[in-house]
Amino acid sequence: MEVTEETRGFDHLVLRYRTRAGLTQQELADFSTISVRAIRDLEHGRAQRPRRDTVRLLADALRLNERDRARLEAAAGRTARTDLRVGPSGAAVPPPTGTVPIGRRDEADALTTDLGAAGRRIVTLTGAPGAGKTTLAMEVAGRLHRRSDLPVLWVDASGAEAHPAILEALYGSWGRESREHLGAVTGSIGEEEALLVLDAPRFSAPDARALAELLSDCPGLRVLSTAHRPHRVPGEQVFLLDPLRPQDAVELLRALLAAAGADVPDGDPAAAEICALLDHLPGALHAVSSWAAVYGTATLLGSLRENPVPLLAPLDLGRGGDLAAAVRFSLADRDPHEEAVLEVLCAAPGGEQADALARRAGLGLTDCGRALMSLVSAGLVRRLPHGPSSRFHTLHLVRAVRGSQGRADDRREMAL
């Protein structure tokens, strides 16, 4: 069944608020000066567009707080209108991925389990740019939709047109207008089971108060978010998506090169080296393999050894963004402590242990530890191998992008 603001919202809310207040239809009629017949019609959905004065009288008689009043007004169609649909026939289902992405079956299984766990309401999927967060989110959302016909509301950077009310409610400045939008969204979703996917629609985190109210008012809603770092909102479960395992990265690269007409012979060490230079990131492998349509594997490998940054934009820019720009974007959002840690690690390809890293970065143990964990959760730094002798390493692409930025800054200074 399709549930919308227009077909369900207002009648459902009037009945809910009247029952909550412990009033009969006659008592509500007496308090509001609205006829019993009019209230009966409103609760049965026979009056889809009530007058503004009717909505105001009902809200006053029911003694609604600001949030519930805004929700009632929104459901009446007077404010914060949205075309949000919740229900199998109107769900905004993400495009199907077809098959599980190479090397991501375990992650897809684990993330699907996390979202299905009792009490698990919001999961944030983090990882380096190019790790495949969006692709994995699509796979998991598609699984949940196919398994139980779960409605999926998909909001990404283009969501300003698709779901403006959700964006304004969760990412707008907290105030009356955003609360009105929040009322519209909760009125649409109600108590339905649904999955809301926030595929990095904004660089900032969603407003914690708005998100908490949304989850509280919509008990059947779960949220899957992709982001460059955890949102740090109450109840959040962080799922860090690591790069592919080396053997899976090679398998993916071979498949991509074959699709471009550039097969790599079995046992050729070039494939493994290309994957290592690209940190085994699916997004980087997709971008670089697109250049195989015009360049041989040996040429691509030589270019990657020298500087991988130019090849991180796909040959056809219409088929993907510039991964180097995404890395720069993530690096720009670092505080001074994180920047100090990155500077040391970029100068140490073999990595550093945490205590030595703190000394070299000139940081206290606590400041260094927090900076490291923030960088690890963003996927920019990895801890290998796990254990007491583990060392922290920054991604090869992080060093390359920072190096290219430094060279560009030097050229600008020389030009001056």
HEC string of 24-59 equals CHHHHHHHHCCCHHHHHHHHCCCCCCCCHHHHHHHH
Residue 287 pLDDT:
95
Q: What pLDDT shows up at residue 49?
A: 61
Q: Which two tokens stand for residue 100?
A: 């599980």
> Which pLDDT score, from 0 to 100, does residue 94 have?
59
What is the token pair recorded at 363? Answer: 């940081």
Number of neighbouring beta carbons within 10 Å of residue 218:
23
Q: What is the pLDDT of residue 198?
A: 93
Amino acid at position 221, single letter: L
Residues 21/62, Cβ–Cβ less than 8 Å:
yes
pLDDT at 355: 94
The span from the CA of 305 to the CA of 297, in Å, is 12
Q: Name beta bridge partners: 223.
A: 122, 196
Buried-state track 362-393, b at ≥16 Cβ within 10 A, e below 16: ebeeebbbbbbebbebbbbbbeeeeeeeebbb
Rounded-to-integer distance, Cα 361 and Cα 382, Å? 17
Averaged pLDDT in 10-residue chunks for the chain of 416 residues: 47 87 90 87 70 85 87 67 44 58 94 86 96 93 84 76 77 79 82 88 86 90 93 91 96 92 82 97 96 93 97 83 92 95 95 95 97 96 81 96 70 45
Query: Using only C-alpha atoms, what is the Rg of the chain?
Result: 26
Tell which residue, 83, 10, 84, has the closest CA to residue 47: 10
* Residue 82 near residue 165, CB atoms below 8 Å: yes
pTM for this prediction? 0.76
* Rounded distance between C-alpha atoms, residue 222 and residue 124, angstroms: 11
Tokens 């009902």 correspond to: 58
What is the C-alpha separation between 101 and 281, in angstroms, rounded? 12
For residue 5, the model assigns a pLDDT of: 36
Q: What is the pLDDT of residue 240?
A: 96
pLDDT at 126: 96
Residues 6+ apart with CB under 8 A from 21: 28, 62, 63
Between CA 377 and CA 393 the distance in angstroms is 13
Indicate the residue type of 57.
L
Evaluated on CA atoms 304, 308, 310, 315, the torsion sign reads positive
Reference 311, options 401, 411, 251; nearest CA is 401
Residue 360 Ramachandran class (φ > 0 left, ψ -120 to 50 alpha, else beta) = alpha
